[in-house]
Amino acid sequence: MNGRLIVVGIVVILVAVVGFLLLGGSDDEVFDEPNIIEVEEIENVLEDVGESVEIFVDIVDFAFSSEVLNINVGDTVTWTNGDSAKHTVTSDSGGELDSVLLAKGESYSHTFNEVGTFNYHCTPHPYMTGVIVVS
Ligand code: CO
């Protein structure tokens, strides 16, 4: 009697495991098409709308997610540090960009009110560079 119950139990568990594998097997497909909006698409939208907007740049793996970013006068750029290491957003010359050391999760925002090309870097890691082109 106990032996039969054990066999029945094992069969139930096997059916449950196989069913779980069959039903759950398609989960990976969700990650095949990340929902990422390209920066260029955002820029095109900005030109069409003609309004000042905020553009987000992530700092990840010791790099700025947009090395070259084309924006319009009046636009605001917000950098957010996703690294455990602290980073800055600092103009190569002049004082247009001058953030403090940003810890993980912290942000720095700047509104560009003049046309120009603004090169910047991270003070602790000078090889981290980016450019904002304002037109
Ligand atoms: Co850095």
pLDDT tens readout for residues 115-129: 999 999 999 999 999
Distance 49 CA to ligand 1 centre (A): 34
pLDDT for 106:
98
pLDDT category at 50 given cuts 50, 70, 90 is: confident
Distance 68 CA to ligand 1 centre (A): 17
Distance 88 CA to ligand 1 centre (A): 6
- Tokens matching residue 51: 């309004």
- Tokens matching residue 9: 């139990």
Distance 107 CA to ligand 1 centre (A): 13
- Cβ neighbours of residue 128 closer than 8 Å, sequence gap 6 or more: 59, 62, 63, 64, 87, 121, 122
Higher pLDDT, 33 or 105: 105
Distance 119 CA to ligand 1 centre (A): 15
- Tokens matching residue 87: 């980073």
> Is 93 a residue whose pLDDT tops 60?
yes
Distance 132 CA to ligand 1 centre (A): 17
Nearest to 74 by CA among 121, 110, 36, 128: 110
Higher pLDDT, 82 or 30: 82
pLDDT for 84:
98
